[in-house]
Structure 1
Amino acid sequence: MIRLGVNIDHVATLRNARGGNHPDPLTVAKALVGSGMDGITIHLREDRRHIRDADAEAVCAWAGKPVNFEMAATAEMVAIAARLKPRGCCVVPERRAEITTEGGLDVANHRDQLRPAVARLKDAGIRVSLFVDPAPEQVEAAAEIGAQVVELHTGAYANGRLGEMERLCAAAELTARLGLECHAGHGLTFANVSPVAALPQVTELNIGHYLIGEAILTGLPAAIAEMKRLMIEARMR
């Protein structure tokens, strides 16, 4: 019905705060099989602030769940992804100073820069997603340069911006009309996930920080199971 990709970047954040090897992202990923998780998302940032190269290699080599590899459209990251061959890559904007991804890619104004990265990833047999704001010009540009998936940035919706749910709905409909698969993510919680999960065009949600935070109270398998229950219930209404 609808898939849940669990972003485990902040397992690595916790490990890196102390140093050493615990908690290990791959060990956590393996422990979550059967919890309702359908895939693993990792973001190998240029500054390696959480996930590191060794983590990416280990997680991508693991055959337990499909891996969604978030990355900037740099030559270094394209080369790493082409070597590791995750199930999919989601190209995201990245700035060194940001705390987290602050918005979608400006595909409409950077077609020429993004098109070669998309082509090389596809040539490596990787399914390519572009992380964009829910704006028609961005969705159309993603289709034009060959992306197979659009992941809609839900951050503005999660922050309560007026009219954002309507923009997400329109962007999801356009994505489907253009023949692309539609994913969504960023800032989703138990309290706000249902309207996004109810969009019939959305096939996957990628959620990380909230689940890791909720795990402090309830445990990660329980937090994932509750999120997946809310997503499925939203589709059945």
Structure 2
Amino acid sequence: MTKLSVNINKIATLRNARGHNRPDLLQAARDCERFGAQGITVHPRPDERHIRYQDVRDLKAVVTTELNVEGNPTPDFLDLVREVRPEQVTLVPDAPDAITSNAGWDTVKHQIFLIGVVQELKALGCRVSIFLDPNPEMVKAAVATGTDRIELYTEDYARLYPTDPAAALAPYRAAAILAQQLGLGLNAGHDLDLDNLAYLKQNLPGLEEVSIGHALVCDALYLGLENTIQLYRRQLA
């Protein structure tokens, strides 16, 4: 079964717009789980423009499914992870000023750095996933880092899906098959929505988890959060 982890960054963005606690981020996380989310994902960034570091600490105490903390393993981020020890850490090589994640790791160039980070995180009891483009060389090199999983960056898939689903999926399917052969677990995320999710799920072997935030929160404005989470779960059935 492919699990749905709901990324609540956009809920934090809405809260931060007014400087108070509306919507209540912790209650939103509880509600997402109550409505069927099988995990909660957050991606704190250095400027704390959405998820704040304190949010991560607070969420660890209330999330009952699985907390997935994404981010670039800077010293501050690693200090936070050492303190919180989430169930999963997803390493993402985004720049501090990036609007959103826009590329996977070069696991050849940064292999030695990633080996050290992965070893430490696994020693803390965290499952580790590395954010990757669907590039066979990057998948192969990820094995040497010791990571448990990779997360395929699906922006290209989402962009190409409306015109040619098969072509859009092809490099991701090849990467997924290779990951299985190499013993890597498989996650996916970025720009997945109610239109393209089922096709990805049906054709990507070994897909264990997707993390979805922006599209899901946008859909919830019209459909309601409970209904929206259930609709996304059905795409993964």
Structure 2 residue aligned with 1:118: 118
The question of whether the paired residues in 2 share the 8 Å contact of 1:78 and 1:120 is answered with no
Matches for 1:205-220 after TM superposition, within 5 Å: 205-220=210-225
Distance 2:3 2:80 in 1: 26
Measured against aligned partners, the alpha-carbon deviations of 1:115-145 in whole angstroms (never above 9, x if no partner) come to: 2111111111111000100111111111111
| Pairwise CA distance, 1:211 | 0.6
Distance 2:191 2:34 in 1: 24
The question of whether the paired residues in 2 share the 8 Å contact of 1:103 and 1:155 is answered with no
Query: Which letter maps to 1:166?
Result: A
Q: Is 1:196–2:200 an aligned residue pair?
A: yes
Q: Is 1:177–2:181 an aligned residue pair?
A: yes
The question of whether the paired residues in 1 share the 8 Å contact of 2:33 and 2:39 is answered with no
Q: For structure 1, which segment, 109-118 or 146-155, has the greater mean C-alpha deviation from structure 2 after superposition?
A: 109-118
Q: Is 1:25–2:25 an aligned residue pair?
A: yes
| Pairwise CA distance, 1:150 | 0.5
Q: Is 1:168–2:172 an aligned residue pair?
A: yes
Distance 2:118 2:69 in 1: 13
Query: Which letter maps to 2:35?
Result: S
The question of whether the paired residues in 2 share the 8 Å contact of 1:194 and 1:230 is answered with yes
Distance 1:19 1:109 in 2: 41
Structure 1 residue aligned with 2:100: 100
Match for 2:191 among 187, 190, 200? 187
Q: CA RMSD in A?
A: 1.3
Name segments (4+ residues, structure 1) moved above 4 Å: none
Distance 1:129 1:203 in 2: 12
Structure 1 residue aligned with 2:127: 127
Structure 2 residue aligned with 1:235: none
Structure 2 residue aligned with 1:82: 82
Q: Are residues 79 and 97 of structure 1, via their aligned partners in 2, closer, same or farther at CA, if it must alter by over 3 Å? A: closer
How many residues get paired?
Answer: 232
Distance 1:157 1:105 in 2: 17
Matches for 1:128-167 after TM superposition, within 5 Å: 128-160=128-160, 163-167=167-171
Query: Which letter maps to 2:176?
Result: A
**Any unmatched runs of 5+ in structure 1?**
233-237
| Pairwise CA distance, 1:63 | 4.3
Task: Give TM-score, length-normalised by structure 2.
Answer: 0.94
Q: For structure 1, which segment, 46-55 or 4-13, has the greater mean C-alpha deviation from structure 2 after superposition?
A: 46-55
